[in-house]
Amino acid sequence: MAVAGWNEADAREIIARLAPIEGALLPILHALQDEFGYVDAAADEMIADALNISRAEVFGAIAFYHDFRRAPAGRRVVKICRAEACQANGCEQLITELRARHGLAPDETSNDRLTIETVYCLGNCALGPAALVDGELVARLDADRLAKICDGGSIEDAQVAAGASA
């Protein structure tokens, strides 16, 4: 999904529009991230002022929810599930291999090209290890497929290969 670059005027408009609703903090953060691809640090004070809360509360919400980013994501976004069922299916070994062989790791690798993040359950527990790649679910990941995906490879190929390994 194409997102606009950070724009303070647009951010102010989003915050002002959503501030009156009850429990506005999370809707505002989601709306900012939808619009800009991340929640710029400059938004913290604007949100705090609009909701009459502290900047620490805004910061705390952003830090608590893994979905919120503080910087734009790479062109490819890989969200690797590390919840219990995927752990039982070997996700941590995949992550260890990814780090050892390619120097990439969830919640550490983020650049123009690639962002890798941790998620906890994608609702695909029976077919783990699972990942969400640019919003598309990929099941039964193995180390080679994960590496190819991180290298910008075809999501569809990874999905087909997962089906073939069933």
Q: Which residues bind ligand FES (CB under 6 A)?
A: 81, 83-86, 121-125, 128, 130
Shortest reach from residue 83's CB to ligand FES, in Å: 3
Tokens of 40: 């710029």
Q: State which residue, 110 or 124, has the beta carbon closest to ligand FES.
A: 124
Shortest reach from residue 126's CB to ligand FES, in Å: 8
Cα 153 to Cα 4: distance, rounded to the nearest angstrom: 25
Cα 162 to Cα 1: distance, rounded to the nearest angstrom: 25
Q: State which residue, 84 or 156, has the beta carbon closest to ligand FES.
A: 84
- Position 139: which residue type? A
Q: State which residue, 57 or 97, has the beta carbon closest to ligand FES.
A: 97
Shortest reach from residue 101's CB to ligand FES, in Å: 22
Q: State which residue, 51 or 125, has the beta carbon closest to ligand FES.
A: 125
CA diameter of the chain:
54
The beta-strand segments (E) located in the chain are 76-81, 114-119, 131-133, 136-138
